[in-house]
Chain A
Amino acid sequence: MTSTSAATAERLVTLDAPPARPRRRWPFSPWHLVLAPIALIMLIPLIWMLILSLETSSEAQSFPLVVLPSGLHFHNYVATWNSEPFGNFFLNSALYSLATVAGNLVFCSLAAYAFARLKFFGRDVLFILLLATLMVPYQVLLIPMFLIVKHLGMVDSVGGLILPNLCSAFGIFMLRQFFRTLPIELEEAARIDGTSRLGILFKIVLPLSLPALATLAIIQFMWSWNDFLWPLIIIDTASHAPLQLGLSTLQNAHRSHVNLVMAGTVMSQIPMLALFLIAQRWFIRSIAFTGIK
């Protein structure tokens, strides 16, 4: 490990300029040449959905794909929005997703911290037990979960959607791994200073874990936002349906109006992509590390 000294600080500054590299031939980083084609391949579904969403109904149903539509039928989006209570769908999905994200962030952080840093009786067995809940296929769990929610009187409500998904062993496992990579010295120092364990979690561990928390938030949001099967089982009334369930009312088994379905799908993806872009600001190197010897 290096020691922080004035000399090193100087060297750190000069390290900003790439040392003795061949002069750049292009005005941009060569990494673009690697990333751009990969990004293009990854973008294929979005491009495909966009194309389909702007075609006429018969063009969209053609097989093979009509890649160049006759015109850009933006009114498909308006038609789709009006054909179903999309405003309701968005609202229900937003409630569902935000609540599960909040729940997971809070409850998983608490539990993960305990598993990562605290020693208590039965800790390891409990951890395996929680992890085990990820190992049973959801198909067999749907009906008993429905029965429990029914006993709580929350069938056909957004609360019934949210409650079983407030905390997942996935989040606990992931955050535990991340917390264990943090240098324990900071926490021990704070402990000696008399900070409570909860205080350590909130004042030291979580601020250093922003990328992990942002990741958990993104993933949980995505799962809730894209959830179809659980809402199908729980929700009866159309006005309580979240987005994917609502979208399915546009689709029948024989794929009519593919263009409208794709318009609806594109619209439903936008909030997630926006969230991802926003969450990027937390994907930064934690600067608190510099200064530690």
Chain B
Amino acid sequence: MTAPAQPTTTARHRPPAWKRLSGSEHFAGWAFVAPAVVLIAVFMLIPIVWSLLLSLQANDLLAPGHYIGLANYKALAKDSQFRSAIGHTIVYTVLFVPVSIVGALALAVALDRKIRGIRFYRLAVFIPLVTSTVATGILFLWLLDPTFGLVNYILHELGLPQQQFLQDPNQALYCIVAMTVWGWLGFDVIIYLAALQGIPEDLLEASQMDGASRWSTFRSVVLPLLGPATLFLVVWSTINALQLFDEIYVTTRGGPLGSTTVIVYYLYQQAFQFFNAGYGAAIAYVLFIAVLIVTLIQLWIGRRRVYYTS
């Protein structure tokens, strides 16, 4: 590797970068993304368009469907159960995203050290992530069983009142939050661990040499450098949280009394229980637009506040 040269000037005082580029940079850009674009276009974008068409039909995927224009969407606007599902989804997301990211950051920092056995501690954190959703569901149904579960047993020993957990319409959604945070923590942790590896050791030591405490080093050096990873995790976690389904399917099935019916679960019911696939596709599209808007907002905020070392 050659010795680093003087940093080049940024493009601040010149016309927009892309206009100055030769055709070769455009070509290179597109050549690099081409394989990914082709694969994703064929296997994701085409199905997405197919679903859009489906949402404009009355179709149960059995009898031939027919086009009904925007009728599905109009019905959705009046659907009170859909509104409830939206509410549940928002509550879930607003709880899940911050809790899992803050928790993961703390855990990643704790795991970012060279003590003996650290590899196995990291492995332990990874385990809930690789455990299949079905197994996790069965496990939690047992842990939280009101009569025979381990958690109520512990509460009993501590003299605290017994809870109904997943059988209580007021508690079920929060139990799902706990279950999914526990299950997904490992994911955020390994992303943060990877990001922490990218923070130069000498930066940290320099800050400490300058007299900063551990905590303020963390706040003013480490945290900003974790910005890109944090943005990624916020966006990704939000996208996932808004599409929550699997964990609901293997535990509460949208209940009790509909308290854990989130948007995608409602979609599933419509498409595969009520044979109303066109309506389900319309739900998917409304969700898609919502997720897109939220993500764009997050990326826009991120653009102004996330610090990239380049």
Interface residues of A (CB under 8 A from B): 1-2, 11-12, 15, 28-29, 31-32, 34-36, 38-46, 48-49, 63-65, 106-108, 110-111, 113-115, 118-121, 123, 126, 128-137, 139-141, 143-145, 147-148, 163-164, 166-170, 172-174, 177-178, 180-186, 188-190, 192-193, 197, 204, 211-212, 214-215, 218-219, 222, 225-226, 228, 244, 265, 269, 272-273, 276-277, 280, 283-286, 288-290, 292-293
Contact = CB atoms under 8 A, between A and B. Distances in A.
Interface residues of B, number: 108
Given A173-B232, A280-B122, A289-B202, A222 B130 contact: yes
B254 interface: no
A43 B127 contact: yes
B291 A135 contact: yes
A147 B42 CA distance: 11
B190 A215 contact: yes
Interface of B is mostly: helix
Contact of B32 (A111, A134, A225, A290): A111
A115 to B, nearest CB: 7
Given A2-B206, A34-B110, A113 B119 contact: no
A12 to B, nearest CB: 7
Contacts, number: 305
7 smallest beta-carbon distances between A and B, as pairs: A120-B29, A39-B124, A144-B47, A114-B32, A211-B194, A184-B310, A64-B148
Contacts of B116: 28-29
A118 B228 contact: no
B67 interface: no
A40 B120 CA distance: 11
A241 B246 CA distance: 21
15 contacts: A2-B209, A42-B186, A46-B127, A65-B142, A110-B36, A118-B25, A135-B291, A168-B40, A183-B309, A189-B5, A192-B5, A222-B129, A276-B123, A283-B194, A284-B197
B264 A48 contact: no
Contact of B281 (A140, A222, A289): A140
Given A46-B131, A133-B48, A181-B225, A108 B198 contact: no
Interface in B204-236: 205-206, 208-209, 225, 228-229, 231-232, 235-236
